[in-house]
Amino acid sequence: MKQLLFIWMFTLSSCSAASLGEPEPPIPTHEKARIAQVAAEARDSKDISEGQFEQTIEWLNSSPCSGVDRSLPANIRKSLAPYIARHESLGQVKVLNSFVFGGWHIIEIENNVSDEPYLFYPADPSSSRPVASWSGAATIFETTDVEMWAMENAHGIPRKLARCFAWHVTLNRV
């Protein structure tokens, strides 16, 4: 009964949050200029190829997270943590961020064991297990690689969500 109530609350808040939806914050103009300069310097010194430079600039000027729900009310954040901790066989976790689109959820957690992992769920995280987990760092030149990793490892993930995730972890991590 408790899990059913949680699922109902999570679904209700997701539906209402989707209409309000907290978008991914845009990259500030000064930060875009700084990233473009770093990319140009890396290209000029042959640390990256012209293709990598062009991809970086394309990603930098895109908004792949528009339409992806980034809201996560505090009550849902707190309620979701015990389910994830149990599914992941961890003592406790702290839910940090979420990305929701097309029925899929990506949940970033703090687990006090490793870098904060992002867990990929094809359904409600309170009643399913993640199909993939990603943690660590990626550079601004690896955005396309991270997108492809998500598509290959979280089979069935909507491309829009994979792109938003890749953009977030390489260019707009806040």
On whether the pTM is more than 0.75, the answer is yes
Tell me which residue has tokens 């990259």: 27
Of 67, 65, 78, residue with least CA distance to 19: 67
Instruction: Return the SS3 of 59.
Output: helix
Give the pLDDT confidence of 24-74 residue by residue, as tens digits: 778 889 999 999 999 999 999 999 999 999 999 999 998 899 999 999 888
d(CA 98, CA 81): 12
d(CA 56, CA 50): 10
Give the pLDDT confidence of 78-120 residue by residue, as tens digits: 989 999 988 888 888 899 999 999 999 999 999 887 788 999 9
Give backbone dihedrals phi and psi of 139, rounded to 5 degrees, phi first: -85, 170
